[in-house]
Amino acid sequence: MRRLLKVIWVALRYRLDALVPLNNPALPRALVWLLRLSPARLIPEGETPAANRLPRALEALGPVFIKFGQLLSTRRDLLPTDLADALAELQDGVPPFDSAQAVRLIEAALEMPIDSAFARFERAPVASASVAQVHAATLPDGEEVVVKVVRPGIRDTILADLQLLARLAGFAQRTFRGARRLHLPQIVDDYRRTILAELDMLKEADNTQRLRNDFAESELLYVPRVHWPLCRSNVLVLERISGVPIREVAQLKAAGTDMRVLAQRGVETFFTQVFVHNFFHADMHPGNIFVDVSDPASPSYIAVDCAIIGSLTEEDQDYLARNLLAFFNHDYSEVVRLHLESGWVPKDTDPREFERVIREVCEPIFAKPLGEISFGQFLVQLFQTAGAFEMEIQPQLVLLQKTLLYIEGLGRQLYPQLDLWETAKPFMETWMAQRVGPAAAIRALAEQAPRILAQLPRLPSLIANTGQQLRNLEHGLDKQTLEISALKQQVERQSRISRRKRAAGAALIVIASLLLWGPVSQSLQAPESLGPLAGLISALVGSLLLARA
């Protein structure tokens, strides 16, 4: 409750209600009147524009809200320019905490003075984010590194926010029918695991190392080296990289960077992580991405902050890939079939009606020039339409969807003509060709050949024992059937005994009432002798309590 009150107070203090356009006809009338009559309107807005007040409000509320602002900041095709510019400050411009405290935390974690661990340590942080801040340093051997240290006391703030989000999600799930398909409690639970993992620097070190190994031979992405001896649960030491921050578009262009290649490689990097490695960087906001422009015609990405990592099951990978290709090919009947087969929509959904609605949503979008199609807007509109068919949000895909929105938002900042569809489709077709068809079957057979050959000598005995194994299975099933039947009979017997006991108890209460009627009547006429009445009441109450027990 205290955290909820703080959220309300911050919203009132920064007059965030002014961000809502009351003249928007899409807003519910009840919400419009609620905002018009809100006591917040009595608080003066001041001279600071509402767009600039939002980042300050999110900073005041802590990391959970800051990360929400970071996601919004990449969606310049969905937000007004002034609001997107203001939110961009959250990418690495969060106010730092005291450097002396950072030094004390690092020394306590490493169990040595800061001057013993590093030849040089810069007290002023080079970056400050919602969960941690980063200091530049030099190792005794002269190598340049960065030291990331978790903010003190941040875990308690995050836990309080998560508890509030869980309560709000549970309330929405119980109260609003439309919210049930969103699986909000499960989404919040998934986010809880994700953001708490972000507090563990050893986990981030492991993620960084794995991502670095995945792209060790690739020109798409570079990941800094981990200095394991100096890593602790709240301290991470990495190789210091040099590159142009991806949000510095003017600087990238001044260096002669091929922006089209850079944007397309961003999409290719994302799909490689998701469908080839099944291990993707899920916090790719501009503050975490740099560009190596040493070869401007062939720029590559540098990724930092690998705390939030996502992965999918093989089934989710397969269904997602097939859905994307079906959309790319305008094959709406295949989209419907996949949604029904995967259980993303109820089994009793009318497939023809579902296909008609999806077609009505998609065709006007595909009629536009490819460069004008926003995948983010497409996802929003498609989900709103599918909501009429009780299509459910898949919690395991939420992290992926968020990352895909990040990628498209970044790509459109770099190269506004980015065609996500044209870039992704050949990649997906190649991936599916490798997973499905004769070549895929031959490759799978080759991969399993050693195991198959190892089992071949046992094949005759396995075939010979099959009959006995089937008989054993049948005997086990018969035994299970008998046990279930006996259990059912026992339950029915206990039920009959309970009914008889209840009937006997009711009969005893009636008899007791008849026998005590006379004494009770006398007690009522003589108030000084209420013992029988009290006894009757006690007996009745006790009987009721016994019956309930």
Q: Which residues contact 172 (CB under 8 A, 6 or more apart)?
A: 179, 182, 184
Q: Among 23-37, 305-319, 322-336, 338-352, where is mean pLDDT lowest?
A: 23-37
Q: Is residue 474 part of a domain?
A: no
Q: What is the mean pLDDT of residues 308-323?
A: 81
Q: How confident is the model at residue 437 (pLDDT cuts 50, 70, 90)?
A: low
- Give pLDDT, residue 65: 78
Q: What is the mean pLDDT of residues 257-278?
A: 88
Question: What does residue 149 show for φ and ψ, rounded to 5 degrees?
Answer: -130, 135
Greater confidence (335 vs 19) lies with: 335
Maximum Cα–Cα distance across the chain: 108
DSSP-assigned letters across all residues of 457-506? GGHHHHHHHHHHHHHHHHHHHHHHHHHHHHHHHHHHHHHHHHHHHHHHHH
Q: What is the mean pLDDT of residues 406-421?
A: 74
Q: Is residue 488 part of a domain?
A: no
Same domain membership, residue 534 and residue 419: no
Same domain membership, residue 68 and residue 38: yes
Where do the DSSP E strands lie in 139-208?
144-150
Point out the domain boundary residue: 60, 91, 122.
91
Tell me: pLDDT of 483 over 90: no
- Give pLDDT, residue 227: 96
- Give pLDDT, residue 436: 63
Q: How confident is the model at residue 213 (pLDDT cuts 50, 70, 90)?
A: very high
Point out the domain boundary residue: 224, 256, 288.
256
Q: Is residue 164 part of a domain?
A: no
Q: Among the ranges 41-55, 78-92, 206-220, 406-420, which has the highest mean pLDDT value?
A: 206-220
Q: Is residue 204 part of a domain?
A: yes
**Number of H helices and number of E strands within the chain?**
21, 11
Q: Is residue 441 part of a domain?
A: yes
Same domain membership, residue 353 and residue 227: no
Same domain membership, residue 320 and residue 408: yes
Same domain membership, residue 137 and residue 41: no
Same domain membership, residue 116 and residue 82: no
Q: Is residue 167 part of a domain?
A: no
Q: Render pLDDT for 216-264 as a digit per residue (tens, 0 to 9).
A: 989 899 999 999 999 999 999 999 999 999 888 899 999 999 998 998 8
- Give pLDDT, residue 448: 64
Same domain membership, residue 445 and residue 389: yes
Return the active site residues. 283
Q: Is residue 34 part of a domain?
A: yes
Q: What is the mean pLDDT of residues 119-136?
A: 91
Q: How confident is the model at residue 159 (pLDDT cuts 50, 70, 90)?
A: confident
Q: Render pLDDT for 372-402 as a digit per residue (tens, 0 to 9).
A: 666 666 666 666 666 666 666 665 566 676 6
Point out the domain boundary residue: 227, 256, 285.
256
Mean pLDDT of the chain: 78
Same domain membership, residue 111 and residue 82: no
CATH label of the domain that carries residue 233: 3.30.200.20
Same domain membership, residue 440 and residue 363: yes
Same domain membership, residue 364 and residue 240: no
Q: Residue 222: beta bridge partners?
A: 302
- Give pLDDT, residue 211: 95
Same domain membership, residue 383 and residue 245: no
Which run of H or E residues covers position 295? none
Q: How confident is the model at residue 319 (pLDDT cuts 50, 70, 90)?
A: confident
Tell me: pLDDT of 547 over 60: no
- Domain of 525 in residue numbering reads as 505-549
- Give pLDDT, residue 413: 77
Instruction: Look at the chain and report how many structural domains it folds into.
Output: 4
In this prediction, what percent of the chain has a pLDDT beyond 90? 21
Same domain membership, residue 343 and residue 239: no
Tell me: pLDDT of 201 over 90: yes
Q: Is residue 466 part of a domain?
A: no
